[in-house]
Structure 1
Amino acid sequence: MNVAIYARVSTEWQAEHGYSIGTQIEACRKKAAEMGAFVVKEYIDDGYSGGFLERPALDSLRDAVQDGLYEAVIFHDADRMARKLIHQLILTEELEKAGCRPVFVLERFDNTPEGNMSYQMKGVFAEYERAKIRERTMRGKRAKLRAGKAICDSHIYGYDFDRGNSCYEINPAEAEVVRMIYRWYVEEMVGGCEYIAEKLNNMGIPSPSGNVSWCASSVRNLLHRPHYTGKYFANTQYHKKTGPKSYKRLPRPREEWIEMSCPQIIPAELHQKALSIKSKHRTYKVWQKNSYPALLQGVAVCGACGGSIRITGGGKRNARWYTCVNTPPRNGSKCAARLMDVVVTDALFWSVLEEICTSEETVTAYIGGRAGAECLPAIPEQNKRQKIVKRIEKIQTERTAVMSWFSQSLLSQSEATEKLASLKADESRLQNELAALENSPTSEVERLAPADICAVVRNCPASPEARRRVFLSVVEKVSVLRRDNNYGHKYLIDFDIVFK
């Protein structure tokens, strides 16, 4: 009989109380020897919570079980498989459907109604125990905080942490630096956080992280800390687990905060003045829409490589440039196309467009001249097919997400079934549309009449906004290629226009 062994431990506390990886593996190997089974592989999740199904070793084990590699999987106990009953039932059902059975070292569950009840009750108590452990831990931390003792060392600059008494003590050298920073910032007003950081670096004072270099953010953090006034609040936030090893920090209600005390370094009034000054000096960058609309934006493509044309620049000089997206190295390729000033390029393009639209005959001649040339890809059927394929890929991603949410008990079975059925119907409809599109003959694309194009361009007002509206109404794609090597704005640009 080929079997696998799975072991898991999530905290040091569990390792100290007999749940270490080595202890579990040794007991599982002894169990395999009693069964006369051959251990093919051992799967270990070290440091992963049993409250989630997404664990690297467990995922590999589930894939191997689906491939029929094992006849049994040995666990030290049911809570090593999972802490939640719903997760235990999901894993047990997966194993049994694949012709594999779970085996536990500490318990034996017969395949009878009584055995199934005992197994499920074990899972309920495992989940209850996990909740009680967390509740007792949090209650102990809150009691310690209310007694005026810090839970851990937050490494606050200006203080040393006394682990024996769980409290902060003033570090004289660092405290003097804190007072000096507040004096510079509030009383002497020598400058902002950047200037103060530069002064500290010139004096050779080590930073809070122990490095020689100070930065502006370190000074801002010192000015914002209430600890230096002798009073601060603890238990202001909590961590919500969002994955096997990921957390999210969320604020607690104001009534749950716990007031703490520590030795005072600066007066509370000085700290309030620093916060007031810092709030007034705080600046935000306000992005303003450029008054000149770029004529070719979103429609132009590079004549050298076929990549999209984007706009770069701006800033105080308000100089903007057309550039190919592949001009910086991207996906291993680099385009040699040069930058083009937006205003100059738009003026050159509009003069070319006006020349083409001199009369209906010139528009017809231009379109006819392009008919034999290599045209830009502007086939609506191809665009529609690409959109359908992307939507199908998105549906497959959503299906995977739904299964992940269901495994984490974020969705009930009925909700997951309903969502999967909806996704399957959408995928079937899109597959039918894609098949019909591929089997349909290519139809001739209906284009604007040359007379209409000519009339719209010739009657366009001279404002950039009006030209942009006309451009979008008559032009489908335009290829732009700069051919000169001049400096300044003496451009030689080739425009290849595809009309709608």
Structure 2
Amino acid sequence: MADAALWSAICRIRFAHRKDEVARSGGTKVTQRAALYARVSTPQQEQEATIESQIAALESFAQQQGYPLDPALYFLEQGVSGAQLDRPALNHLRDLAPEARFDVVLCYSPDRLARHYAHQWVLLDELRRVGVEVIFINQPAAPDGPEGQLFLGIQGLFAEYERVQITERLRRGKLYRMRQGTLVNPNPPYGYQYVPVSEPGGGRWVEQPTEGEVVRTLYRWYTEEGLTITQSVDRLNEAGDRMPPRGKRWHYSTVQTLLQQPAYAGRAYYNRTRTCHEAVGQPKKSGRGRRRRPTHEPRLREEWIEIAVPPLVAEDVWQRAQEQLAMNQKFAPRNNKRHFYLLRSLLVCGTCGRTLAGRTSQGGVYYYCTNRGKLRDPDVAPHACSIAGRIVEPLVWEAVCRLLGNPNLLADAWQAQWETDTADPDEADRLQRRQRALERQWTRLLDAFQDELIDKEELARRKAQLDSERKALAQRLGQLRQQARQQQAKAQMLEDFATFCQKIEASLANPTPEVQQEVIRLLIDHIVVEKDAITIKHIVPTDDNCRLLPGRRPTQMNAD
């Protein structure tokens, strides 16, 4: 308490000393030293030089009022959010204020000092206590005393409310236009160029011819020629100006992002992430220091907004690329460069679900669970899951050969997974006729409302009924179209699989380990290893995935 009282007394003496200096100078502000504080919150504002415009306005004001300026007292925040008080330049200003380094702080507007009114009040009160006056040059000076504080508080609250309202209206308006398909992100990915809204038919993406051809070539290399991402990067860099990147060079991460871009199949997404301004000022998860910019967290899949854009590659080509990426991630050799494991990344522990690791000892291959013994997770029971390669590998290959010899087994697996009721062949026509009838009803309702035969409330009530029925019809038609696609995919899959079996039948008699591994990965999703048995989870294709999805028809065999 004594220290607090002493500090308060020192501040009062310092403040009184400053007032005496002003009085001795005839009441003018010539002897007062001014500090400048300016801030922009986004990199875009920084690029547009808005902080320079703030500095120019502050310097002009200081010159008109006779305040001497010192470049050492320029406190500038570039690309820093005002939602937090923990800001580098602001912290430096607050540290120097009690040392009587300046008498006045010039700031363009209250929202440049802090975004929230509560933060503004904390800063103004803190500086006032050490005898530093804050002047906002874009508004008239508030009178001293409680009335001035009230005026400033009301003005700050209204400014904060207006900013929130404008931001929310712009956000909701943009989301509405995105859902209506009349607006897209103005920063398109590689392969597209944005047509500005100001131009006829604007607010959309169109293919950039040179980049679009690069995208198609990249997908062909990856899905047809079997090039890896690293090999694709080397080819792109060797091509030079014929395949130009948007940066200086092609990199692995850039090509990987292009291969994962859903827009190339005709589907762009908006509202996938949420900007977290509260992360500004928090310690970084990696590295030193604190965050200066907001972070982005993923939203739920239901909140995404899908936008139709011109496709650059066929749907099946894009799906093959996604499947190849998933397989590469699952079966990547990582640090293993010395030994070959036929069932790498396929064997799963029946107790804890962890993928078994491979080990080579005395010329033999063994697969074992790493989540055992003292190193296991706390919620996992003690167990010792391991199996020799000489036991499990022949059993798995035998099951694969049996499946390849009888393609109808795959058709049976399909039927077991997709047990759906047979749709009436005329149902789709009836639903479409009902949709057209509902559209005519809606037109008649609008005519009746315009002729003042029904009021607004009645129109809204009937519209809600029509919308509910139209939504149910659209859902059912979607289900019917899905079933039709499934049947087509099934027929195509069986035909392709039978052809595949015929082509590799000759090589199955004496295949190399590499061929065995490739065939096993195409037909088996994973293998559960239990104490006395192994369960092989075959793969069953669907129309949504050009390769396959995990099946539910296990084949059990004794491991002994």
TM-score computed with the length of structure 1 as normaliser: 0.49
TM-score computed with the length of structure 2 as normaliser: 0.44
